[in-house]
Chains A and B, each alone.
Chain A
């Protein structure tokens, strides 16, 4: 109960900060509305990759976490990957763990439900829209990538992300760095599949083209209606995400935000931001003219 209240407060604050962040971004790039940063039209990339996590299959073995750690050369974890006490609290991805698995005691499920958390690689990422220096790119292959060379550490992306995915590397104060899952972009380009999907012993994570994954997901719901809730999370949420989910219990029970708009979050600020360049260029000119006109009058008077 309390938690839900907190979440609401958090969202309100987030909304405010998001607008502030986007305004700053827009101001930094006059004439470049922020929506241009987020590639709104993806029809030219029909083969973009996605992932499908079937939460009814996951058994919480954390092999994906271990494989992710190895594939990305991350530091060894504080507690080993077969340590189950980590499930006692809900974790978020960090600079040294791009993905984490959390455990939920869900109503209507005899067994605990495990949820893998990582960047969802949105179709129109709000992190990319919020970033003042274009550190984020939605790639034609599907993953949303981050470029640490241009990042200056403002962390607007962390505020903008509705899934709390980007994490900040506090270890390196002089080299600010936001870190998150890359969907193993390098592996995908080399013809391979992301480490987590390749390592999952029960095949709970499926890699493929997003449009095919949607078909697979809908087909599973059709064939096993008793097993799944009738929703593919990520199909429409926040304008659609590259990472899709199937679940046997309602998604809000697993802390999936259920208050996200169906259109991309970027859309909320589009109108406002497209006016920013106008305000910053036309208004000074207009007001300047007024001032000049008034000044002349005063001098004459």
Chain B
């Protein structure tokens, strides 16, 4: 009896989830996510340090449905706590409008430098920004465990794994 009720509840939740994902991803759905969807990347291959670790395949589309909001990762406005508009935007009305109106997602590397810069010591490097973005959620949802895993266990394929393919 109880089991049946649980199954029914699970089914309802699954249907609702599917519906909401479809609504977000569907071409006719309103909202900024849908607008950007046309240009939104599917699977991204992050291969900046391919000589050390084989490229990471990042399923952007899959994460869009789970993250809740673009700003969870693309934190341009930092939840409304960004210091100033000029910190990121050019204070040139034309460029500003273009940035905002096109919902342009700026590449991480525009702010996060590849290596430490004396002018902004507190700015996370590109490597740190990527790792934080992934680890922050994945550690909390427990999908990679609470303890650290080796680089190859989490996201990066090990050299051996890559060669085996």
Contact = CB atoms under 8 A, between A and B. Distances in A.
Interface of A: 52, 57, 59-62, 82, 84, 87, 103, 110-112, 193, 197-198, 200-203, 206-209, 212-213, 216, 219, 223
Interface in B120-147: 121-122, 124-125, 127-129, 131-132, 135, 139-140, 146-147
Contact of A193 (B81, B116, B128): B116
B14 to A, nearest CB: 27
A80 B135 CA distance: 23
B147 to A, nearest CB: 6
B108 to A, nearest CB: 13
Given A59-B135, A213-B121, A216-B122, A200 B128 contact: yes
Given A197-B116, A198-B116, A208-B121, 11 more contacts: A60-B148, A61-B148, A110-B146, A111-B140, A111-B146, A112-B146, A202-B131, A207-B121, A209-B121, A216-B122, A219-B122
B139 A201 contact: no
Interface residues of B, number: 21
30 contacts: A57-B132, A59-B135, A59-B139, A60-B147, A60-B148, A61-B148, A62-B148, A84-B147, A84-B148, A87-B147, A103-B147, A111-B140, A112-B146, A112-B147, A193-B116, A201-B127, A202-B128, A202-B132, A202-B135, A203-B127, A203-B129, A203-B131, A207-B116, A208-B118, A208-B122, A213-B121, A213-B122, A216-B122, A219-B122, A223-B81
Nearest to B118: A208
Contacts of A84: 147-148
B107 interface: no
B150 interface: yes
Interface string B88-109: 0000000000000000000000
A226 B121 CA distance: 23
Contacts of A60: 147-148
A64 to B, nearest CB: 12
Interface in B66-82: 81
A103 B147 CA distance: 10
Closest 6 pairs (CB-CB, A-B): A203-B128, A208-B121, A216-B122, A203-B124, A61-B148, A201-B131
B121 A216 contact: yes
Contacts of B146: 110-112
Contacts of B118: 208
A213 B122 CA distance: 8
A263 to B, nearest CB: 28
Contacts of A198: 115-116
Nearest to A212: B121
B158 to A, nearest CB: 11
A50 to B, nearest CB: 10
- Max chain A CB contacts within 10 Å: which of B81, B122, B127? B122
Nearest to B79: A223
A62 B124 CA distance: 18
A197 B135 CA distance: 18
Nearest to A81: B150
Contacts of B151: 61
A201 B124 CA distance: 10
A111 B139 contact: yes
Contacts of B135: 59, 202
A225 to B, nearest CB: 11
A224 to B, nearest CB: 9
B121 A203 contact: no
Which of A60, A84, A201 is the most central at the interface, judged by chain B CB atoms within 10 Å of its CB? A201
Nearest to B116: A193
Given A59-B148, A82-B150, A84-B147, A201 B128 contact: yes
Contacts of B125: 203
Contacts of A203: 124-125, 127-129, 131-132
